[in-house]
Structure 1
Amino acid sequence: MTESQQELEKGPTGRRRGRGARERILGASQRLFREQGINRTGMDQLCAAAEVSKRTAYQHFASKDELVAEYLRRFDPSVLSGVFDRDDLTPREQLLAVFDIPPTTPLCPYIAAAVELHDPQHPASRYAREYKQAVAARLTDAARRAGAADPEQLGEQLALLIDGAAARTRVLDADAFPTAAAIAAVLVDNAIPAPATASAGRRQEQASR
């Protein structure tokens, strides 16, 4: 291998590129996009932070748009699996657990990307839209399994509440999720009979037969 070929195999600071280049690019994008925004982060800065050449970056991602979309996919590819796939929680408890978010969690990256890009056809905007629809669908499924009379309505209400709490937390720099959790509890209580109440109702119905 010639000296010039060796240089092409290295990033701007001399680190040899390889299998780790893609992860370094995604790691740098996750940090920079969250800290300073998507539009303010150029590919030159991103490549410098990831210690790869622009040629290497474009070998892994055909465009910045493609990188932004992949950046969003990495946040929660299974759609809140940490809540909805837990066997130790009932469906009712899952609906409330989605509001148990650490106060240090920043504004939802999907909202931030959609607001900043201003392009509903951008790959990242489409992915953000699909993700939000998937969250509402998972909430609706849990509401149905919990016995809600109108699970679609409850799912949409809770999805809206999550997004509102995330935006308010960012704007006011104060954790809005405890308040959102209290509102969610009221919505869930109104939509789904409490276990004890449901059991009592069944006993009363059987006794009247």
Structure 2
Amino acid sequence: MTEPEKGPLGLRRGRGARERILIAARQLFREQGINSTGIDQLCSVAGVSKRTLYQHFASKDEVIAEHLRRFDPDILPGVFDCADLTPRERLLAAFEINAPLCPFIAAAVEIQDPDHPARALSRDYKTAFATRFADTAREAGAAHPEQLGEQLALLLDGASARGRVFSTESFATAAAIAAVLVDNALPTAAALPGARGGTGS
């Protein structure tokens, strides 16, 4: 039996075209931006025809939207849902990810139309991210969890953007600032290393 031909990304042609399109979109959007990525290039890298692409997505806008939906639908579950960490540790663990520039930030910068689905998805994701921080801050016993959640979300976004511009270890600096914000916001006992603050145990 003849082995199926492989496309530019080493993925088999004729199978998983939708997935190949989304993998290509993730690669191209990250490396050169959304606006600089055309349909022809997207098809070439994914190893599909335009006809195939439009069978799966009605437009490039739909590719962008699905790319964003798949980025982090559960909002860092490996951090915020980790039962092995205290609430304080979970708040700070988000700064240890060292992720590349958040695609929601990139999309919001590149796409000016406020009604574009990518803008709505970006707003929803950033709101949900701050909420995750706030819920964890509340569990840790913070007096003003929504305020702390917004501060930490803003700090993390800033670290992501600054790291992209300067290629520096911005997350390490952000983590140090986050520790100060968290410890100032939590009750003294909860801020102590190893304390199970806010868990009731």
Q: Shorter chain as normaliser: what TM range?
A: 0.7 to 0.9
CA distance in 2, matches of 1:197, 1:109: 32
Unaligned runs of 5+ in 1: 1-9, 199-209
Cα contact 1:12–1:53 (8 A) shared by 2: no
Alignment length, in residue pairs? 185
Partner of 1:157: 151
Of 61, 65, 70, the match for 2:61: 65
> What are the residue-to-residue correspondences of 1:28-107 with 2, within 5 Å?
28-102=24-98, 105-107=99-101
Partner of 2:197: none
CA distance in 1, matches of 2:48, 2:136: 44
Instruction: Return structure 1 stretches of 4+ with deviation > 3 angstroms.
Output: 10-13
Of 14, 18, 42, the match for 1:17: 14
Q: Deviations over 1:119-176 (max 9, x none)?
A: 2211111101100000000000000000000001000000110011111111111121
Relative distance call for 1:196 and 1:11 in structure 2 (3 A) is closer
Cα contact 1:72–1:110 (8 A) shared by 2: yes
Scaled by the length of structure 2, what TM-score is found?
A: 0.86
Of 137, 141, 159, the match for 1:143: 137
SS in 2 for 1:39: coil
The answer to whether 1:112 aligns with 2:106 is yes
SS in 2 for 1:177: helix
Cα contact 1:24–1:50 (8 A) shared by 2: yes
Which amino acid in the other structure matches residue 17 of structure 2? A
- What is the CA distance between 1:11 and its match in structure 2? 11
CA distance in 1, matches of 2:102, 2:120: 15
CA distance in 2, matches of 1:185, 1:68: 35
Relative distance call for 1:12 and 1:154 in structure 2 (3 A) is closer
Q: Which of the pair has more CA radius of gyration?
A: 1
Scaled by the length of structure 1, what TM-score is found?
A: 0.83
Partner of 2:167: 173
CA distance in 2, matches of 1:196, 1:117: 42
CA distance in 2, matches of 1:152, 1:143: 8
Which amino acid in the other structure matches residue 14 of structure 2? R
Cα contact 2:130–2:150 (8 A) shared by 1: yes
Which amino acid in the other structure matches residue 131 of structure 1? Y
Q: Deviations over 1:58-78 (max 9, x none)?
A: 111111101101111121111
